[in-house]
Chain A
Amino acid sequence: MRRAGGRLCSALRWAGVAVGLAAAIGCVRRESPTLESWPARLAATIDDPDRKLSLAWQGSCYAEGGREGSWLQRRMEERFNVALAVAFIPSFSYDKAIRFKLIGDEIPDVFWVASPREAARFAAHGFTVEVPYEAVVKFAPDYVRLLQEHAPAAWMLTHVEGRNIGLPTFALSTRFPLNGVWNRTWLERVGITEIPETLAEFETALRKFHTDDPDRDGRRYTRGMATVKPGTGGAGDSSFQEIFGAHGTIINGWMEREGRLVSGGILPEVRPILALLRRWYAEGLIHPDYSTAPSGNLELRNQLLKGSVGYMLAWGYGVFNLENPGSVYSLFRTVHPDQELAPAWFTTGPIGACGVRIGGGLVGGIMLIGRHVADAPEIMVRVLSMINEAARDEATYLELHIGREGLHWRWDPERGILKLPPYDRRALGAQELLGEGIGFDLGANHGYFLPFSASQKLVDRFTPAAQRRYRETYNRPAWGLTDSLALPDIMPSATRLLPHLAERQAQIFASIVAGQRPLEAFDGFVREWPRLGGDVLTREANDLFARKQAIIGRVRALLEQGS
């Protein structure tokens, strides 16, 4: 009896293993949609505006605080005769959570991703359908014009192997370089009466901040400047970008040299800049915790507020907006009522260059169309029409981004767009999916459904005069340094190779600056860079670069034909 039981038990165990293996090996095969005829079917599709369509729409993850049936959702449904199914994924987990949705075949009709790499990956896995250039120009010509005007290189972000895989978005804020801020009181106390402009003046000010006790507390612990943690920042390593900019270089992107693209981080001109920073660090002009402090601009702000440093790269007008009690300057005046801040000029270097990296209107956000739309092309036509309407009509754009004037916001010529109660509580506005700005506001939520900026003309109309003057004085686009390709991570191998390379570069540069490695470590990094995959990335970047004008020109030509 016991032997029989043992044999049965063994049989059950093996049966369990077999079932488990079968489940692991077996995979559910989905039917691939017939996509060869997709562009032709799409071109022949006519959308009937009177026909109500059901759309599953996974919007921008930055508008995560919304609710089902929000004001904006209902307005979109009324305006465009659609029934929208929305979902809200926390932004800090969006990249993970959206993958589960796609793997589980819960592919929305429209969904947003944060980077071209993600878009290319999803397209490669068959979760999306192509968005032919012809269809975009035909059904959303005004949106195409908006892109052509403000971010013509945006089409590089959605170009994969000759096809367009999605709709790029743009953000006006990335056209304007954001300047820094000086502690003006400290400058005066150390005998500097003018805001530093040249690199030499900049260095002198930093040195005096460290040696001349500008905070008058009898101790010498103040430093000149702070910077963001290496390897952080939306476009890769953004530390000391104003110093690299003063030499006409960006270290986290592609720069054109003699007709070819080279990674900015391995250019010969980077070496003397690292030597300069290394000397500054050794002299104590740079906050020593910059490479180990928490990442993000919040840490910079804290160092300025605590009186640890006298300069930092900031975020433009909003820092100085005394109307906003939460602005950096307001908080600074509360902590140091006897001190003042002043906007900084971009530091001009030995070759007359100055500025910081800008996106040139580009942002990584891309709207993708789910593959199930291949069976219902009228959905894509409707979506493109919706986007086009917001791009075409300013009143529609405003309503579908920040809500209705008089109900959700009002315009004040001095202070700008002001939220009306109760939407002056950010969370309440977010619940109704109301955006926080219309294009010039860095980090502003551009909207759940239509996450792109307004046109420059519309933004200027709603920008207070003081803010416009500040922008024209301190944030001129001419001072922005752009990636010669478009964005640094749109190459096919970027997902595989770029993160490690970028991390390695950040580590090497930070350790050189901090004196932990000799300057020769930069030469070693330049030598090893190709071996680590840099040669593959360079080849792919140059291949895309060679086709850049053709890619951008193709859309322009279609638009001109359509006109």
Chain B
Amino acid sequence: MPFQRSRAERAFDWLNVTVLTVVGLLALYPFVYVVLLSFSTAADVARGGLLVLPRNFSLSSYDMVFHDPWFLLGFGNSLVRTVLGVAATLLMTSLAAYPLSRPNLPWRRQIVFYILFTMLFSGGLVPKYLLLKNLGLIDNRLVLVLPLMLTAFNIIILKNFFQQIPPSYEEAAKIDGASDFAILFRIFLPLSKPALATIALWTAVIHWNAWFDAMIFITSNEKQVVQIFLQRIVIENSVKDMQFGTPNFNEQLYTPDALKAAVTVITVLPILAVYPFVQRYFVKGIQLGGVKE
């Protein structure tokens, strides 16, 4: 007999769908509004009353942003930083997590303790600056990659995942004469895609959004990241459009509110573009933090 759902259950389902749809639209609308502002003219933004679609479609805000000579360079720096950072993080985290996942590693517990210990506190920003300065990393692009390369949290996540892999894989490989490096790169890493994808996504988001380290450690605009330029565009132009005396600056028909919106859209787009490809790993990866040894 086919399963029959009661009227109450069907009503509840409808209510559920309706409520969740409304909540979803409410959550989505602020982003829609930001996109709407970014494609609006200065007059329309000033006039207000915008709802879903621009009253008059305009690319002036994007024109302003993309004509900033530093913007594309900063965008490139951020992309390079993100790609390099993710690659470096995955490589170094794997190299750290694999031996720690092997039960026969001497002093394994003590090493894990020392790694965990570093999560409790940090040395502070001044010692970090002095250390990086002494390493010659100030105003060096590597300063955006190296300090974030290894984190205790990622090591523990990957270590725990490696520990879930059945030991028979390793035993079989060793019988065939594989070295530890071969076992890691040819067996463990291919089996660890969910964990690696999760760590890669977290790392990518961290690198893409990071600005504080660039603000302190980078002092030449050629090496700056896009977040700094975007902050500068918003902060500078929200003030400078008030000034009087530069009548022919060719930045017309924009307003800081639309500019901020365009900046927001540009910043969010790369992560939005990447996320659909990794989200199937993300759900499984979220569970990784809960695995205990």
Point out residues on A near B: beta carbons under 8 Å: 5, 9, 12, 16, 64-68, 87-93, 96-97, 100-101, 103-104, 106, 296-298, 301-302, 305-306, 315-319, 321, 323-328, 331, 334-335, 415-419, 421, 424-428, 431, 436-437, 440-444, 467
Contacts and interface: CB of A to CB of B under 8 A. Distances in A.
A9 B110 contact: yes
A89 B219 contact: yes
- Which of A16, A103, A326, A443 lies at the interface centre, i.e. has the most chain B CB atoms within 10 A of its CB? A326
B67 A306 contact: no
B235 A92 contact: yes
Nearest to B49: A306
Given A104-B129, A104-B138, A316 B252 contact: no
- Which of B129, B221, B254, B255 lies at the interface centre, i.e. has the most chain A CB atoms within 10 A of its CB? B221
B73 to A, nearest CB: 10
A437 B247 contact: no
Interface string B225-256: 00010011001101111111111111111111
14 contacts: A93-B215, A315-B243, A316-B244, A318-B242, A324-B249, A326-B42, A334-B46, A427-B67, A427-B68, A436-B243, A437-B246, A441-B246, A443-B243, A444-B246
Interface in B101-138: 107, 110, 114, 125-126, 129-130, 133, 138
B86 to A, nearest CB: 25
A415 B222 contact: no
A12 B107 CA distance: 12
Given A87-B220, A427-B70, A415 B243 contact: no
B216 interface: yes
Interface string B55-83: 00000000000011110000000000000
B245 A444 contact: yes
Given A334-B42, A427-B69, A443-B239, A103 B130 contact: yes
Given A306-B48, A324-B246, A444-B246, A90 B69 contact: no
The list of the 8 closest CB pairs from A to B, nearest first, reads: A318-B244, A441-B245, A87-B219, A305-B46, A334-B43, A325-B252, A324-B247, A323-B247
A326 B252 CA distance: 6
Contact of A65 (B114, B221, B231): B221
A417 B245 CA distance: 8
A300 to B, nearest CB: 9
Given A100-B129, A431-B70, A425 B232 contact: no
Nearest to A410: B248
Given A90-B232, A103-B126, A106-B133, A321 B247 contact: yes
Nearest to B239: A443
B244 A326 contact: no
A318 B245 CA distance: 6
A325 B235 CA distance: 20
Given A68-B222, A106-B133, A443-B242, A331 B255 contact: yes
A5 B252 CA distance: 72
A319 B129 CA distance: 44
A317 B107 CA distance: 74
Contacts of A297: 239, 242
A444 B246 CA distance: 9
B246 A67 contact: no
A354 B11 CA distance: 70
